[in-house]
Amino acid sequence: KHSVNRPPTPDGAEDQGNEPALQEIINIKLIESGEKERLMELLRERLIECGWKDEMKALCRSYVKKKGRNNVTVDDLVHLITPKGRASVPDSVKAELLQRIRSFLMSAAL
Amino acid sequence: MSSKINGHVSPQPCPHLLVFRSRNGPKPFRALQDCIRVKPPGGRAAIRREPSEVPRCGTCEESSRSRLYACVACAAVFCHAPLLHSHASDHALSIPGHEIGVDVDRAELFCCACGDQVYDRDFDAAVVLAQTVNATATTSTSGSTAMQCSVAGSQPENLRKRRRVDYRPWEPGSGEHISRGNQSIPLLDATNASLVSSTQQPWGLRGLNNLGNTCFMNSILQALLHTPPLRNYFLGDRHNRYYCQQKNGVINGTKNSRLCLACDMDALFSAVFSGDRTPYSPAKFLYSWWQHAANLASYEQQDAHEFFISMLEGIHEKVEKDKRKSQSPGDYLSYCCKVVELASALRFRTAGLMMSTALLLGDCCIAHRVFSGILRSDVMCMVCGFTSTTYDPCVDISLDLEPNQGSSGKSSSAKSLNSFNVEADCMRPNQNCGISTLKGCLEQFTRAEKLGSDQKLFCQKCQVRQESLKQMSIRKLPLVSCFHVKRFEHSSIRKMSRKVDRYLQFPFSLDMAPYLSSSILRSRFGNRIFPFDGDEQDASNDLSTEFELFAVVTHSGRLDAGHYVTYLRLSNQWYKCDDAWITQVNESIVRAAQGYMMFYVQKVLYYKESENQGTS
């Protein structure tokens, strides 16, 4: 039984091994077929529906209120909401996306 | 770091952007514009050198990074994840003049040295242009007028042609001084203290007798009697019933006073503001209204909202007819010329344009001047992205009351509770409690809605019916916003009617800014400098969009056996108007009431130069 709760994907390019190369190949396949865009739209829709986007917006707003509008950069906000954002994606959304990617890979392999 | 232009914050450029601009001419991002790729429908804008390009970081060769920026100076692409590694920052810091990049997936300019988004008017305009697909010719459906939609860069005539003036309080002229001395009596005086109620109720509070299931009428009348612009109009003698009837008698050659709901309103205002506190019977008014709305003439309970609409129509019709009749041919001709001039500026292409334009201007009668606003409807074809825009006047906004309309997504509660610590992260308590709010309803009203596959609309570009995305917004706010909650559902299919009793929370103060067309369009195109058409013309664009609640019409009981009651807010005190009985109540009672129609008045009034100098 595959768990959807994997440890967060590392951002760093430190561990260059076989994994990033595979990720690259899959990414390119997804882009070239147009599937990546469809998946992005689906993800956007789901994250809006479940209120995730509003939650992130609210977090950003309160941070900007605290620091002052002129003292906040996009990088600050990305840093602020990335960990929380990744952690709070609903399991159902993760499962759905993973399922879609899986079916895509299986159809692409044929 | 940001300045206000046209009421909207325009960010100041960072030092790197300034240097970049000085080195590369006035339109430094011109070359980028050719790389804007928009995927219909509704188009996300991306930057690609070739349409099929897969961007990857020049340093680490990865394409699967979440943020990739193309250097505007040398077109090299780099990834950017500031805390872990940023090859974009490395590039920016290593070569001066290469700090500005563009997000390849969002078409947004970014300074990799400052780590912040930057803006360029021309670039943003180009992106928005690429994202909008417009018609050159539009046709209208009955009752609405279609206008060419130019989202960015156009200069249509402002709807308001007369310029704004500062408010100057009225000073009595010499004539007024004289008549004041001779013919008037002070309102409040020791000699007429008997007129003033001992309970010290505010002026103009008077119960209305129920003449047989007429609480639907009484409740609306109470709200209208205390609608500030309407009240001022009638109390200021702007529609004098004696003069009006006299004029009509002369024109018609008959002695019978013709039906004029405005005259009846004038009579009502006189009666209610006379100081007499005994309940008043608006029989004449009821009779007049029956004559106007013959199909509703019965002693059955009617819908208050229907009454409201038909009343406004009644005032409009009569006043319009009078205006046309009383105008000399020369006057009418110049009026028509003005209308045609404005219409061509707004690019109308429809029949019935006289009526529509007058309505759009709201200049036809007092009813429309107070209540008429303009709604904008954008319908986008999901296949090609073509958007058609129509403008319709409205005297109120009818809102659906569905469960779970707190100010967030549709089914927020269940899913997000898994992931969040409720106490700490719940920014808006209403969201998880599922209380419906007026703001939530307005958000729903202005949300982009996918029309079902059974509701395909004709797309001018595709020339077939396609699935569409529809979004409403408010182009022009009325002086008084009336919100009607759709609590009564009549389904002819299911042959049943039902009432939605669900509680709706409404605020005492309401800012309508997020629901304006300018805001809605802005959010549609994301993070850009975005001049909304009409912005440039109107210098005073930081117009207040704040409204204050002054009347609530509530309904209690069932669909077939119910009762209307109005709550009025006078000098920040609330009064319950239940037919003949008026009582002062606590605001908590009002908050807990089942709102059916809510009336909000603009907090700040703006004045235009009058066309008629010295006459009313």
Between B530 and A40, the more confident residue is A40
Residues of A at the B interface, defined by Cβ within 8 angstroms: 11-13, 20, 23-24, 27-28, 31-32, 37, 48-55, 58-59, 62, 69-70, 73-76, 78-79, 87-92
What pTM, to 2 d.p., does this model score? 0.74
Give CA–CA dist A39/A25, Å, rounded: 17
Query: Which residue is associated with the tokens 């807990």?
Result: B592
Chain B hits for A37, CB-CB cut-off 8 Å, are 39
Quick one: closest CA in A to B112, which residue? A75
Alpha helices in B116-260 (DSSP H): 121-131, 174-183, 215-225, 228-235, 241-252
Give CA–CA dist B106/B87, Å, rounded: 19
Please check whether residue B428 touches A, CB under 8 A.
yes
| Catalytic-labelled residue, pool B79, B149, B215, B244 | B215
Contact at CB, B416 and A75, closer than 8 angstroms: no
Q: Tell me the CATH number at A69.
A: 1.10.246.140
- Which ranges in chain B are annotated with CATH 3.30.40.10? 15-135
Structure confidence at residue B503 (pLDDT): 92
Candidate from B312-316, B324-328, B410-414, B440-444 with smallest mean pLDDT: B410-414
Chain A hits for B110, CB-CB cut-off 8 Å, are 74
Structure confidence at residue B53 (pLDDT): 86
CA distances from B158 to B456, B514, B532 (A): 33, 21, 11
Candidate from B1-15, B98-112, B358-372, B473-487 with smallest mean pLDDT: B1-15
Give CA–CA dist B113/B89, Å, rounded: 6
pLDDT bracket for residue B587 (50, 70, 90): very high
Structure confidence at residue B604 (pLDDT): 84
Structure confidence at residue B427 (pLDDT): 37
Dig out the tokens for B4 from the structure: 């206000």
Contact at CB, B431 and A51, closer than 8 angstroms: yes
* Closest CB to B114 among A24, A73, A78: A73
Please check whether residue B54 touches A, CB under 8 A.
yes
Contact at CB, A55 and B425, closer than 8 angstroms: yes
Give how far B524 is from chain A: nearest CA, Å. 14
The domain covering B15-135 belongs, at the CATH homologous superfamily level, to Zinc/RING finger domain, C3HC4 (zinc finger) (3.30.40.10)
pLDDT score of B404 more than 90: no
Q: Which residues of chain A fall below pLDDT 50?
A: 1-2, 11-18
Candidate from A80-84, B212-216, B425-429 with smallest mean pLDDT: B425-429
**pLDDT tens, position by position, B122-165:** 888 888 888 876 543 333 333 333 333 333 333 333 444 456 77
Q: Residue B99 in contact with residue B112, Cβ under 8 Å?
A: yes
Q: Residue B563 in contact with residue B556, Cβ under 8 Å?
A: yes
Whether the upstream peptide bond of residue B26 has omega within 30° of 0, thus cis, is no
| Catalytic-labelled residue, pool B8, B384, B426, B563 | B563
Could you report how far apart the first and last alpha carbons of chain B are, in Å?
48
Between B291 and A56, the more confident residue is A56
Give CA–CA dist A42/A29, Å, rounded: 18
Beta-carbon pairs below 8 A across chains A and B: 81
Q: Which domain holds residue A50?
A: 23-108
| DSSP SS3 for A3 | coil
Structural domains counted in chain A: 1
| Other beta carbons less than 10 A from residue B176's beta carbon | 12
Could you report how far apart the first and last alpha carbons of chain A are, in Å?
24
Catalytic status, residue B426? no
Structure confidence at residue B50 (pLDDT): 87
Establish whether this prediction's ipTM goes over 0.85. Answer: no
Backbone angles phi, psi at B375, to 5 degrees: -100, 145
Contact at CB, B415 and A90, closer than 8 angstroms: yes
**pLDDT tens, position by position, B329-383:** 666 666 666 656 555 545 444 334 444 555 555 677 889 889 999 999 999 888 8
CA distances from B484 to A87, B200, B412, B488, B600 (A): 41, 32, 26, 11, 12
Structure confidence at residue B282 (pLDDT): 94
Stretch B46-53: mean pLDDT: 87
Chain A hits for B67, CB-CB cut-off 8 Å, are 78
Catalytic status, residue B316? no
In a domain, A64, yes or no: yes
Contact at CB, B415 and A50, closer than 8 angstroms: yes
Alpha helices in B327-445 (DSSP H): 329-345, 353-361, 366-371, 412-419, 422-425, 429-433, 438-445
Q: Residue B447 in contact with residue B471, Cβ under 8 Å?
A: yes
* Closest CB to A51 among B2, B114, B408: B408
Contact at CB, A55 and B411, closer than 8 angstroms: no
Structure confidence at residue B8 (pLDDT): 54
Candidate from A84-98, B169-183, B414-428 with smallest mean pLDDT: B414-428
pLDDT bracket for residue B169 (50, 70, 90): confident
Query: Which residue is associated with the tokens 């319009």?
Result: B320
* Closest CB to B62 among A20, A37, A91: A20
* Closest CB to B409 among A13, A50, A75: A50
Contact at CB, A49 and B409, closer than 8 angstroms: yes
Stretch B557-574: mean pLDDT: 90
